[in-house]
Amino acid sequence: MTVRDLVGTQFKELGAAKVTISTATTTAFDFGTPNDLDLSGESNYSPGDRLLVVFDASTAGTTDTVSFSVQDADDSSGSIGTPATAVTDGTLTGGTGDQYAHTGVQLQPNRPWIRCNVTSDGATDTFVAQCRVFAFPRSV
């Protein structure tokens, strides 16, 4: 089976989001109601699946630094609980100019919520950032 076959048949998109960031702040990607991803309510997610998070940020500028982060959280009566840095296997530190990053996320027991963020360290450049989250079987 080729990589194209695997992506087409085994990878299931859980969410895609785009944000514009032009100030020194951290912005969470909004995947639609309820903004963050609740894996317990995702029809494309099966317990035991692995997660892949893919980020990109585009800018014409070369001054500000952009970076990415992934958090997980417990469930608080159907809403996101207290987010904390998720266990990932990729380097999400960024840099200036266009940036790309991807990481696997190691799911923690009783932490079904996923929040993905983009951070800019200045107010000179404007970044258009995107995030896509995929689930795929552990066997892939």
Range of the domain at 27: 14-136
Q: Is 1 a domain residue? A: no
Q: Is 2 a domain residue? A: no
Statement: residue 5 has pLDDT above 80: no
Q: Is the dihedral of CA 41, 42, 46, 47 positive or negative?
A: negative
How many structural domains does the chain have? 1
Residues listed for the chain? 140
Q: Is 72 a domain residue? A: yes
The two three-digit tokens of residue 25, written as one number: 């702040």
pTM above 0.95, yes or no: no
What is the domain-level CATH number for residue 124? 2.60.120
Over the stretch 34-50, which tens digit does the pLDDT of each residue have?
899 999 989 889 888 99
